[in-house]
Structure 1
Amino acid sequence: MLSKIVKSTALLALTVCALNASDFTAQAEKDRIEAIKYFEAKFADPAKNKDKFFPYTTEAELENDYEKNLKHHDFNIGTYAYSKDAKSQYEAIKEMPPYEDAIDEGEALYTKKFANGNSLATCFPDPAVAGNYPFYDDKKKDVVSLTSAVNDCLRDNGEKEWNTKKGDMANFQAFLANSSKEAGKKFDIKIQNEAAQKAYENGKEFYYTQRGYLKMSCATCHVQGAGQRVRNEKLSTLTGQITQFPVFRLKWDDLGTLERRLSGCVVDQGQVAPKDESTQMKELIYFMAYMSNGMDIDGPDIRK
């Protein structure tokens, strides 16, 4: 009888844990599904959706330069999913991508020994981990981004931390992203408890809050404005927005991290960007990464 009670109690505890985990993820999953539906509806037929979604775009442009009937995973390559002209240029550049040397340099950094004999491989024994970051660390009571994890590894081993926007950090992340892509990995972000849920909600609030002298938010451009043209460029969608990083941006003529791009966007909104390893930046990335859950790792990649 006692053994039956113990087994029943254990089963109940496991069931409660599973239900609780589901509860913590419920709102985030609802957000993600609604975003997928929104973008699929928006790009089902841009020309027909002009009045609803593209009021400032000409009918001729919508008819001639926009793809139709796009589905969730199509947005994995950003604006190239729906801009015919940009996609043809993108595919031409991908024939000989300018980031191949960066992947090799990142692999060399992976195995390079620290002064104490350890290496980045000690901290990242499996390099195909790009889709698991960021995550909420219960011990640190904070979100850990890929960038902060790399610098934590360096600091813990007595090494000097890296620039968070480019250089060795971008090259090493290119190696991790490429390893993840070759392994067929997808974004798999967890929200395991109340603290993680709060971090997700904080990131979501940042993404949707208007700020700066322009009174814009990230969502102004990448939800409501996704697919619309600003000067000569079309704006990317929230879903799939970060699956390609690090990216070689033609404007930079260099490889850069996600934090580098996000900081530039925030400055463009007319405000001061949060520090790259700050909780605010990491929570923003946590939200964005969850919104790309289930999508393929596509980095490193090219952007204008």
Structure 2
Amino acid sequence: MIRKVVTASVVALFGVAALNAGTYNAQAEKDRKALVSYFTKKFSNPEKNKQFFPYANAEDFKSLMPVKNVEDFRMGSYAYDKMGRAQYEEINEMPPYEDNIDAGEELYNKTKGIKQCFPDPAIAGEYPKFDDKKHKVVTLSVAINDCLKAHKQKTWKLTKGKMADLEAYFAAKSKEAGKKVDIKIQSKAAAAAYERGKKNYYSQRGYLKLSCATCHVQGAGNRVRREVLSPLLGHTTHFPVYRLKWQGLGTLERRIKGCEKNQGEKPHKPGSAWMSDMLYFMAYMSNGLPVDGPDIRK
């Protein structure tokens, strides 16, 4: 009898724990679904939904395509930019990042500790993660450097070089395996980090008083000079990217630094709590979308 009571109590306890774990991402799920709904409506028929494009002209609408599948947002602005898509597909016939994938595979096989830390390389969609023991968000770049430090190896720059090459290999293996973005929020502290990241993303900063959302939520699909602005939905799925402007491969941290400069503010340091929290929020917004990196951007 006592054994039955104890067993029932343990089952009930774990049931409550599981229920509580499932509630930590409730607000994040609400935000993500609202974002998907917003972009689905906005790009279902851009010309018909002109209220979303207050500065667009007739020529702009000729280049905007409807997005019929939510998963297409993994392509960024090429999901709806007709001219950009054509250029993108032409360049991707001979991807300039293939050598980076090969270099990343060599790093994976030859760098001490990397295989032990990441036995399955198809992990691109699992980061950033909230580490409850460290009480912070850990991006893939930081996790790689933590692994190197644990094996007494020299750490790498978080924005390009070896870091971008290894992440390109991880992304390619994730894409090959059909992996999707799968970011977890499983504790109160993780939910708080998500909220900080959301605040960072939507807060106006710099002398231009812009937020990330100004360009990539409200402004997505609108044109700045000759470029069509990309959407928050799908933003993290395709990194690292070979950017034509860079003539090389870069991590998401590198791109965020560039965006912050464009906003007229001093960029936050890659690996900082501020940037890591924001990347956690951004990645969660792409939950369920296919990993599509490495890729090309202008």
- Under TM normalisation by the shorter chain, which class is it? over 0.9
* Cα distance in 2 between the residues matched to 1:69 and 1:178: 25
Q: Deviations over 1:5-48 (max 9, x none)?
A: 12221221122112211211100000000000000000011111
Q: How far does residue 3 in structure 1 lie from its aligned partner after superposition?
A: 2.5
Alignment counterpart, residue 168 of structure 2, candidates 169, 174, 193: 174
Q: RMSD between aligned alpha carbons?
A: 1.0
* Cα distance in 2 between the residues matched to 1:187 and 1:235: 22
Greater mean alpha carbon deviation, residues 8-17 or residues 154-163: 8-17
Q: Which position in structure 2 is the counterpart of 1:276?
A: 270
Instruction: Report the AA paired with residue 32 of structure 1.
Output: R
* Cα distance in 1 between the residues matched to 2:196 and 2:109: 36
Q: Say whether 1:103 aligns with 2:101.
A: yes
Q: Which position in structure 1 is the counterpart of 2:43?
A: 43
Q: How far does residue 72 in structure 1 lie from its aligned partner after superposition?
A: 1.7
* Cα distance in 2 between the residues matched to 1:104 and 1:68: 36
Q: How far does residue 70 in structure 1 lie from its aligned partner after superposition?
A: 3.0
Q: Deviations over 1:86-113 (max 9, x none)?
A: 1011111111100000000000001114
Q: Which position in structure 1 is the counterpart of 2:22?
A: 22
Instruction: Report the AA paired with residue 53 of structure 2.
Output: F
* Cα distance in 1 between the residues matched to 2:30 and 2:294: 29
Q: Which position in structure 2 is the counterpart of 1:145?
A: 139
* Cα distance in 1 between the residues matched to 2:21 and 2:156: 35
Q: Which position in structure 1 is the counterpart of 2:126?
A: 132
Greater mean alpha carbon deviation, residues 26-35 or residues 159-168: 159-168
Greater mean alpha carbon deviation, residues 188-197 or residues 66-75: 66-75
Instruction: Name the SS of the counterpart of 1:238 in structure 2.
Output: coil
* Cα distance in 1 between the residues matched to 2:209 and 2:237: 27
Q: How far does residue 80 in structure 1 lie from its aligned partner after superposition?
A: 0.4
* Number of positions where the alignment pairs a residue of Structure 1 with one of Structure 2: 298
* Cα distance in 1 between the residues matched to 2:69 and 2:77: 13
* Cα distance in 1 between the residues matched to 2:147 and 2:54: 48
Instruction: Name the SS of the counterpart of 1:212 in structure 2.
Output: coil
Q: Which position in structure 1 is the counterpart of 2:82?
A: 84
TM-score, with length taken from structure 2: 0.98
TM-score, with length taken from structure 1: 0.96
Q: How far does residue 260 in structure 1 lie from its aligned partner after superposition?
A: 0.2
Unpaired runs of 5+ residues, structure 2, are: none
Unpaired runs of 5+ residues, structure 1, are: none
Contact 2:76–2:234 (8 Å) recurs in 1: yes
4+ residue stretches of structure 1 with deviation over 6 A? none
Q: Which position in structure 2 is the counterpart of 1:154?
A: 148
Contact 2:124–2:171 (8 Å) recurs in 1: yes
* Cα distance in 2 between the residues matched to 1:60 and 1:217: 27
Contact 2:67–2:79 (8 Å) recurs in 1: no
* Cα distance in 1 between the residues matched to 2:242 and 2:235: 15
Q: Deviations over 1:210-252 (max 9, x none)?
A: 0111000000000000110001111111110110000000011
Contact 2:67–2:80 (8 Å) recurs in 1: no
Q: How far does residue 261 in structure 1 lie from its aligned partner after superposition?
A: 0.1
Q: Which position in structure 2 is the counterpart of 1:232?
A: 226
Q: Which position in structure 1 is the counterpart of 2:209?
A: 215
Instruction: Report the AA paired with residue 147 of structure 1.
Output: S
